[in-house]
């Protein structure tokens, strides 16, 4: 990504501010993606993760209906709408999300039993792609964090199989090591290709990767196997 680094900014440790908070603030100020997002009107640097994944996998080409799981603060939906203002987008997040023109936003927990049906009702049609940038709150225990994240990925996959049109795609955030073998096997039952990718916009020290499942086979095809 172009844009230049510029002089590195340092942040003084203010009274009452933790050293870790100072390091985070310093990293933000010196992050070229943060600066680029601010200059281009994206709500977060995460927008560039989707832009880079789209450039590699052609995720958003011709899409007309999108579900954005874990929409806050809205960067991914901004990318979708900038690609095509006519694309229908429905997003959900437990956190409040400022309105985005042309996007329906539900403030609720995706793991709530009522959430999938609410999303389907609001979308009103089959989706071309289900995007999930959801992440479980980490507790610092790698095995626990991995299990909690995989639970979200699996729930997103099950929802995707209910709402996607044949040929559709599902993209979800996973942790280092990617989706586990059982989940990958299940994804391969439903999609023609399943790959893992770490877009350049993901920080090198971050454990996040993305699983990209494309070519949804359709419910009838899977049930016939």
Average pLDDT over residues 167-190: 89
Q: Which of 145, 133, 123, 146 is nearest to 65 (CA)?
A: 123
Structure tokens that stand for 125 in this block: 């049609």
The response to whether 133 counts as a known ligand-binding position is: yes
| Per-residue model confidence as pLDDT tens digits over 123-137 | 999 999 999 999 887
On the question of pLDDT at 49 being above 90, the answer is yes
Contact 60, 51 (CB under 8 A): no
On the question of pLDDT at 177 being above 90, the answer is no
The mean-pLDDT minimum among 21-30, 135-144, 167-176 falls in 21-30
Which pLDDT score is estimated for 15? Answer: 53
Please, what are the domains in the chain? 44-224 (3.40.50.150)
The response to whether 93 counts as a known ligand-binding position is: yes
The response to whether 24 counts as a known ligand-binding position is: no
Mean of pLDDT over the chain: 86
| Per-residue model confidence as pLDDT tens digits over 65-104 | 999 999 999 999 999 999 999 999 999 999 999 999 999 9
Place 160 in a pLDDT band, splitting at 50, 70 and 90. very high
| Per-residue model confidence as pLDDT tens digits over 7-36 | 455 545 555 556 555 554 455 555 788 888
Place 52 in a pLDDT band, splitting at 50, 70 and 90. very high
Question: What 3 state SS string does the chain have?
Answer: CCCCCCCCCCCCCCCCCCHHHHHHHHHHHCCHHHHHHHHHCCCCCCHHHHHHHHHHHCCCCCCCEEEEECCCCCHHHHHHHHHCCCCEEEEEECCCCCCCCCEEEEECCCCCCCHHHHHHHHHCCCEEEEEECCCCCCCCCHHHHHHHHHHHHHHHHHHHHHHEEEEEEEEEEEECCCCCHHHHHHHHHHEEEEEEECCCCCCCCCCEEEEEEEEECCHHHHHHC
The response to whether 74 counts as a known ligand-binding position is: yes
| Per-residue model confidence as pLDDT tens digits over 203-221 | 777 888 999 999 999 976 6
Which pLDDT score is estimated for 2? Answer: 40
CB atoms within 10 A of CB 145: 17
**Which residues are known to be catalytic?**
173
Structure tokens that stand for 103 in this block: 């996007």
199-205 contacts, C-beta under 8 A, 24 or more apart: 199/48, 199/49, 199/52, 199/53, 199/56, 200/1, 200/48, 200/52, 201/1, 201/33, 201/45, 201/46, 201/48, 201/49, 201/51, 201/52, 202/49
The rounded distance, in Å, linking the Cα atoms of 222 and 50 is: 28
């Amino acid at each position: 990504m172009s844009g230049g680094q510029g002089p590195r900014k340092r942040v003084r440790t203010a009274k009452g501010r933790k050293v870790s908070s100072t390091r985070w603030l310093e990293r933000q100020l010196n992050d070229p993606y943060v600066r680029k997002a601010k200059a281009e009107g994206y709500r977060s640097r995460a927008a560039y993760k989707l832009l880079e994944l789209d450039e590699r996998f052609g995720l958003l080409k011709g899409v007309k209906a999108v579900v954005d799981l874990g929409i806050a603060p809205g960067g991914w939906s901004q990318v979708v709408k900038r690609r095509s203002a006519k694309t229908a987008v429905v997003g959900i997040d437990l956190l409040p999300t400022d309105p985005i023109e042309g996007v329906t936003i539900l403030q609720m927990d995706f793991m709530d039993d009522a959430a999938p049906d609410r999303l389907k009702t609001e979308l009103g049609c089959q989706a071309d792609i289900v995007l999930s940038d959801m992440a479980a709150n980490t507790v610092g225990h790698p095995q626990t964090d991995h299990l909690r994240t995989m639970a979200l990925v699996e729930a997103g996959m099950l929802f995707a199989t209910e709402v996607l049109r044949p040929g559709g795609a599902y993209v979800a955030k996973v942790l280092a090591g990617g989706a586990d073998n059982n989940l990958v096997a299940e994804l391969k039952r439903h999609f023609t290709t399943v790959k893992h990718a770490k877009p350049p916009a993901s920080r090198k020290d971050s454990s996040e990767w993305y699983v990209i499942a494309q070519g949804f086979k359709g419910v009838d095809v899977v049930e016939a196997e």
